[in-house]
Amino acid sequence: MRSRSPFLCRKSTKPAAWHTRPEMSVIQMNAAVITDVERIDIQSLERPTLRPNYALIRVAAATLCGTDLHQYGGKIKTPLPRIPGHDFSGVVEELAPGHHKFHEGDRVVVKPSFPCGKCEYCARADYGSCEDKKLIGLHGDGCMAEYVLAPIANLVPLPDAVSFEAAANLEMFTVAMNTMKRVQPRLGEWVAVLGQGPIGLGQTRMASLSGARVIAVDVRREALEMAREFGADVTLNSTECDVVAEVKRLTGSGADIVVECVGAKATVDLIFQLARKEGRVANVGFQVGAATYDLIPIMLRSLTIHGVGGNGGRGQYETVIALTESGKIRPERLITHRMPLTDAAKAFSIAHKKSEPVLKVALSLNAGPNRPTLARG
C-alpha cells in the first residue's frame, strides 16, 4: 500500500465517462513511478488538487540525482509505488489564495525540502529552520510528473535568462554554497576536492569562484575534463598518480581545505594525508556503512571537520540562481543526457548502471504549444 502523504497522487480508479460533467471530471497527468526495485512505469494518475499555502506547479524540467538512484536501486527504502524526484523547475499553474508574491504563470524553482508546517519554527514562518523537513520524492510523491504540489514558501522566482533545464540542476551548487560558507576558503588557499561527480564538480566551481586554488581528484578522465572547465587549477587522476605526493608537492604542507564528496573508505582515509595541520575538512559524500572517522588523526593534526548535510535552505538557491543568471555558473553543462518524461525508465537505467559516461540526466516535460520548454528565455 502506498503511504498517506500530503503530496500523494492516487491512481485514478474512475472510468472515463463521456457524460461526466466538466467541473466534476478528474484531471489526469503522466508520471514516472517507481513500482519496484529498478523498475519505472509511466502511469496516468490524478493530478494533485490545490490545498492551502500550496502551489500547483506544471513541471518543465527535472534532473535525476543520486538520491533518486539510491531509491530506484533499493538502497533508500521508500513505500512503493512512488513518483521520485526533487530537482526541478516549472510554471505556477494554480496558487492557493492569500499569497501575493507569486502569480499563475510565474517561472519558478522549488526548494526540495518541504517544511513540516507544524513545528515551532514553521509557526514563526522560519521554514529554513524547520525541525522536520521532508525531501519531496522520498517522503511523498516527487517531481517526475507533469504536475506537483509545492509549498508556496519553497518557491523561488526564476529570471527569464535562466533556462528551465539549468534551473532544474542547481542542487550541487547549493550544497557547495553551504559547504563554502562553512569551510570559508580564502584567496589563494588550496582546496582539494575528492570526487568529481556532480556534487564534487559543484564544489570545484564554487571553491574556484571564491578565489581558492582547486585540486580536483577523480578516476574518470571526462569528469576531470569538466573539473578543468569548472575552474580546477590542477586535476589529479588517482589511477595515474600518487595523489598524496602530488598534493604535498603543490602545497608544501598539505591542502588548507579538503572537501570529501565520495564517502568511500579510501577517500575518507585520504583526508588525513592531504589536509595540512590546522586544516579544514568538509564531509559531503556518504555511502551507508562505508567509512568511519578515526579520531586520533583529527586530534593530532588539529583538524576542523564540517558535516554538510545538504543545501542549507537559507538563501543558497536564490544566490545560485543569481550566479547562473550572471553566467558565473553553468548548471546545464553537467547535463550529459536529455530525454522526455516518457523515457524515464531508460533515463534511470543509464544513470544507475553508468554503462556510458554520464554526469546528469535531465527529463523534459509538458512540451508543446504554450507549454514551458527547455529553451533559454
Please report how close the Cβ of residue 296 comes to Zn ion at its closest, in angstroms. Answer: 34
Task: Give the nearest distance from C-beta 171 to Zn ion in angstroms.
Answer: 4
Q: How far is the CB of 332 from Zn ion (least distance, A)?
A: 16
What's the full length of the chain, in residues? 377
Which CB atom, from 107 or from 360, has the smaller least distance to Zn ion? 360
Provide the minimum distance between the beta carbon of 137 and Zn ion in the complex, in angstroms, as a whole number.
8
173 or 190, CB closer to Zn ion?
173
Closer residue to Zn ion in complex, CB, 87/146: 87
- For the bound state, the minimum distance from the C-beta of residue 199 to Zn ion, rounded and expressed in Å, comes to 9
**Spatial distance between the Cα atoms of 127 and 113, rounded to a whole number of angstroms:** 10
| Separation CA 139–CA 192 (nearest Å) | 34
Nearer to Zn ion, 257 or 350 (CB): 350
Q: Smallest distance from the beta carbon of 67 to Zn ion, in angstroms?
A: 5
Query: Do residues 60 and 365 lie in contact, with contact meaning Cβ atoms separated by under 8 Å?
Result: yes
CA angle, residues 208, 135, 200, in degrees to nearest 5: 20
> Under the rule (CB under 5 A), what is the footprint of Zn ion?
65, 87, 115-116, 119, 122, 130, 171
Residue with smaller CB distance to Zn ion, 65 or 155: 65
Strand-pair category, 190-194 with 213-218: parallel
Q: Which residue is nearest to Zn ion (CB)?
A: 65
Query: What does the alpha-carbon distance between residue 258 and residue 23 come to, in Å, rounded to a whole number?
Result: 58
CB of 31 closer than 8 Å to CB of 83: yes
Q: Closer to Zn ion at the Cβ: 171 or 343?
A: 171
Which of residues 132 and 242 has its CB atom nearest to Zn ion in the complex?
132
Least distance between Zn ion and beta carbon 287 (Å): 16
Going by C-alpha positions, the residue among 153, 171, 165, 137 that lies closest to residue 55 is: 153
Rounded CA separation 240/84 (Å): 37
Nearest to 182 by CA among 318, 285, 304: 304
At 19, list the grid cell.
457524460
Work out how close the CB of 237 gets to Zn ion at its nearest, in angstroms, rounded to a whole number.
Answer: 26
Which C-beta is closer to Zn ion: that of 115 or that of 331? 115
> DSSP string covering 143-206, please?
SSBSEEEEEGGGEEE--TTS-HHHHTT-HHHHHHHHHHHHH---TT-EEEEE--SHHHHHHHHH
**C-beta of 143 vs 234, nearer to Zn ion:** 143
Which secondary-structure segment (H or E) carries 41?
Answer: strand 39-46
Find the farthest-apart pair of alpha carbons in the chain and give their distance in angstroms, rounded.
Answer: 79
Whole-angstrom Cα distance, residue 46 to residue 27? 6
CB of 76 to Zn ion, least distance (A): 12
